[in-house]
A and B are shown apart, each in its own frame.
Chain A
Amino acid sequence: MTRDWWKHLILILGVIVVIAPFYMMVSYSFKSPGEIDRGEGGFFGRQEMMVDERCVKLRDPSRDDIAAAMDRFPGQTDAAIRTALVAEAEADCSMRPVVFNYSKAFTEAPLLRYLLNGVIVTASIFLIQVVVALPAAYALAKLKFWGRETVFGLVLFCLLIPVHAIALPLYIMLTKLGLTNSYAALVVPWTISVFGIFLMRQFFMTVPDDLIDAARMDGMSELAIVWRVMLPTAVPALMAFAIFSVVAHWNDYFWPRIVISGNRDLFTPPLGLREFKGDADGSFFGPMMATATVIVTPLIVAFLIAQKRFIEGITLSGMK
Chain B
Amino acid sequence: MAGLKIENITKRFGETDVLKGVSLDIADGEFLSLVGPSGCGKSTLLRIIAGLEEQSSGEIYIGGAPVAGRRAADRNLSMVFQSYALYPHLSVAENIAVPLKMRRLSPLQRLPVLGRFMPGMRHQAAEIGTEITHAAKMLEIAHLLDRKPGQLSGGQRQRVALGRALVRDPTAFLLDEPLSNLDAKLRVQTRAEIAQLHRRLEATFIYVTHDQVEAMTMSDRIAVMMGGRILQCAAPDVVYDDPDTIEVAEFIGSPKINIVPVEVAETGEICLLDRKLDLLAQGRGKGVMSLGLRPEALRLAGEDAPIKGHVVHSENLGAELFVQIDAAGLGHPLTFRAAPRDRQALALGAPVGLAFDAAQALLFGADGLRVRDVRHHLPTQAEVA
A contact residues vs B (CB 8 Å cutoff): 208, 210-211, 213-221, 224, 229, 232-233, 235, 314-320
For A218, give its contact among B52, B84, B89, B164 (CB under 8 Å).
B164
A315 and B88 within 8 A (CB): yes
Question: Which residues of the partner chain B approach A224 to less than 8 Å between Cβ atoms?
Answer: 102
Residues of B within 8 A of A (CB): 47, 50, 52, 71-73, 77-79, 81-90, 98-99, 102-103, 148-150, 152, 157, 164, 181
Asked if residues A232 and B89 are in contact (CB atoms below 8 Å), the reply is yes
Q: Kindly identify which residue among A215, A218, A317 contacts B150, using a CB–CB cutoff of 8 Å.
A: A317
Q: Contact between B88 and A318 (Cβ–Cβ < 8 Å)? A: yes
- From A214, A315, A319, A320, give the contact of B79 (CB < 8 A): A214
| Separation of A118 and B181 alpha carbons in the complex (Å) | 51
Which residues of chain B have C-beta atoms less than 8 A from A211's C-beta?
85, 87
Beyond the given pairs A213-B85, A215-B87, A224-B102, 6 more chain A to chain B contacts, judged by CB atoms under 8 angstroms and listed by A's residue number, are A217-B77, A219-B99, A219-B102, A233-B87, A315-B150, A318-B88
- Closest residue of chain B to A235 (Cβ to Cβ) is B89
Q: Which of A208, A217, A314, A317 contacts B72 (CB 8 A)?
A: A217
Chain B residue numbers with a CB within 8 Å of A218 are 73, 98-99, 102, 164
CB distance from B111 to the nearest CB of A (A): 11
The smallest C-beta distance from A35 to any residue of chain B, in angstroms, reads 53
Contact partners of B81 in chain A: CB under 8 A: 210, 213-214
| Measured CA separation A224–B102 after assembly (Å) | 10
Interface contact B150-A318, CB-CB below 8 Å: yes
Q: Kindly provide the distance from the CB of A126 to the nearest chain B CB, expressed in whole angstroms.
A: 19
Q: Say yes or no: A213 contacts B87, CB within 8 Å.
A: no
Taken together as a complex, chains A and B put the C-alpha atoms of A319 and B83 apart, in Å, by 6
Which residue, A208, A215, A218, A224, has most C-beta atoms of chain B within 10 A? A218
**Which listed residue, A210, A219, A220, A233, touches B88 by the CB 8 Å rule?**
A233
In the docked arrangement, what's the CA distance between A171 and B14, Å? 47
**A210–B103 touching, CB < 8 Å:** no
Most buried by B among A220, A233, A235: A220
- Bound Cα distance A173, B103 (Å): 46
Q: Shortest beta-carbon distance, B103 to chain A, in Å? A: 5
Instruction: Give which listed residue, B73, B77, B89, contacts A220 with CB less than 8 A.
Output: B73
Q: Which residue of B lies closest to A234 (CB)?
A: B89
Instruction: Verify B85–A214 contact, CB threshold 8 A.
Output: yes
Chain A minimum-CB-distance residue to B103: A219
CB distance from A146 to the nearest CB of B (A): 14
Contacts of B79 in A (CB 8 A): 213-214, 217
Q: How far is the CA of A198 from the CA of B228 in the complex (A)?
A: 37
Asked if residues A319 and B89 are in contact (CB atoms below 8 Å), the reply is no
